[in-house]
Amino acid sequence: MTLRTLDTLGSLEGKRVIVRCDLNVPLRDGVITDDGRVRASLPTLNALINAGARVVVCSHLGRPDGAPDPQYSLEPVAQRLSELLGAPVAFARDTVGESAQDAVASLEDGGVVVIENLRFNAGETAKDDATRAAFAAELASLGDVLVSDGFGVVHRKQASVYELAELLPSAAGLLIETELDVLDRLTEKPERPYAVVLGGSKVSDKLGVISHLLPRVDRILVGGGMLFTFLKAQGHDVASSLLEEDQLETVRGYIAEAAERGVEFVLPTDVVVAAAFSADAAHETVSADAIESTAFGASGIGLDIGPETAARFAEVIRGSKTVFWNGPMGVFEFPAFAAGTKTVAQALTEVDGLSVVGGGDSAAAVRQLGFTDDQFGHISTGGGASLEFLEGKKLPGLEVLGWA
């Protein structure tokens, strides 16, 4: 089976097209601080508008726990979408109630409405199949066709992602097409040398990716909080740095397998160690095998890769033809511990080939550090979905669209 795409839906003029986007953007005091996911939805929305469809946009935002919560309202997203589209965007103050029904009924060809946060209804994420199906049926009453374009949720079996796609003629939008094309290039015949850069806090979050990609890559670079489990697995003390004791044997196994396959694990040779997890904490850079030698002793916490490591990582990245990066190198939210992440991001902009930022915290980091999306080959909108795809898992939101 192959993925159903927009061109399989025929003429959409005058049809009510529900578009399941991922508009789960960060908000601070009701203001969007990163509109990357809103902008990523524009190609599909513009294609539908130009086709004369009556566009019903739906999404989740945050974790409102199945009940209305003003701090998670999609109203700021509707306003931003209107600005980006350069046209009015209506906003319905419920998901499937009177406001949504009236707003959809009032749509004209080429018009757009955003309905309220799907997770204000407990049926969206219910574990019970029948409860999800009931909510999906209510959503289906608002449209004639579904275009699924929320790549960040295709790994979730949720009402608007899975059951709704079974009730209406459905197809993937342009964003999902793009994401899958990039992920396919990362897993099937990638151009070499191929480097994967992994960071973030936990090794356990990346085990599946390491396992699935080991036979496919040339080098794996390890930073972020997960690096300390690797260092400990090699026999180094890591003071009070983040450590997953229960993953030490697994990590040793991966290091041994990599050696057998001729894959290089590029591990930090120096780290930035701080007195505490704080933006203004005293800190110093030491060799990766001397973390407890700082003035902070056993209470020291590693919060970034060191400059020597960052330079080595950048060298490997720039010398690669394919690079996938997921997870910051340090606590980039604190300027004192952002240098490693910034060096890696800069190197990705200089890759002569395909450079992919794997969504989530990595995407947030590059934007916060002043980089623009067009400096990279691709910035994924779905960190968790990207990782699960690269682990070789089946994603229900894609399978229901014919992907196999």
Catalytic residue among 360, 382, 383, 397: 360
The reply to whether 262 belongs to the active site is no
Residue 318 annotated as binding? no
Please state the length of the chain: 404
The reply to whether 16 belongs to the active site is no
Hey, which residues does 326 pair with through a beta bridge? 198
Cβ–Cβ < 8 Å for 45, 59: no
CA–CA–CA angle 73, 76, 80 (5° rounding): 145
Residue 63 annotated as binding? yes
The reply to whether 80 belongs to the active site is no
The reply to whether 208 belongs to the active site is no
Residue 319 annotated as binding? no
Residue 401 annotated as binding? no
Residue 16 annotated as binding? no
Strand duo 27-28 + 31-32: pairing:
antiparallel
Residue 24 annotated as binding? yes
Catalytic residue among 202, 252, 318, 321: 202
Residue 253 annotated as binding? no
Catalytic residue among 52, 319, 384, 402: 384
Catalytic residue among 4, 20, 37, 219: 37
Residue 206 annotated as binding? yes
Could you tell me where the DSSP H helices lie in 70-215?
75-85, 98-105, 129-140, 164-167, 174-187, 207-213
Distance of CA 259 to the CA centre of its chain: 30
Residue 61 annotated as binding? yes
Residue 119 annotated as binding? yes
Cβ–Cβ < 8 Å for 266, 316: yes
Q: How many CB atoms lie within 10 A of CB 67?
A: 9
Residue 152 annotated as binding? no
Largest Cα span, the chain: 70
**Which residues are catalytic, by number?**
37, 202, 360, 384
Q: What residue numbers does the annotated binding site cover?
A: 22-24, 37, 60-63, 119, 156, 206, 302, 333, 359-362
Q: What residue numbers does the annotated binding site for ATP cover?
A: 206, 302, 333, 359-362
Q: What residue numbers does the annotated binding site for substrate cover?
A: 22-24, 37, 60-63, 119, 156
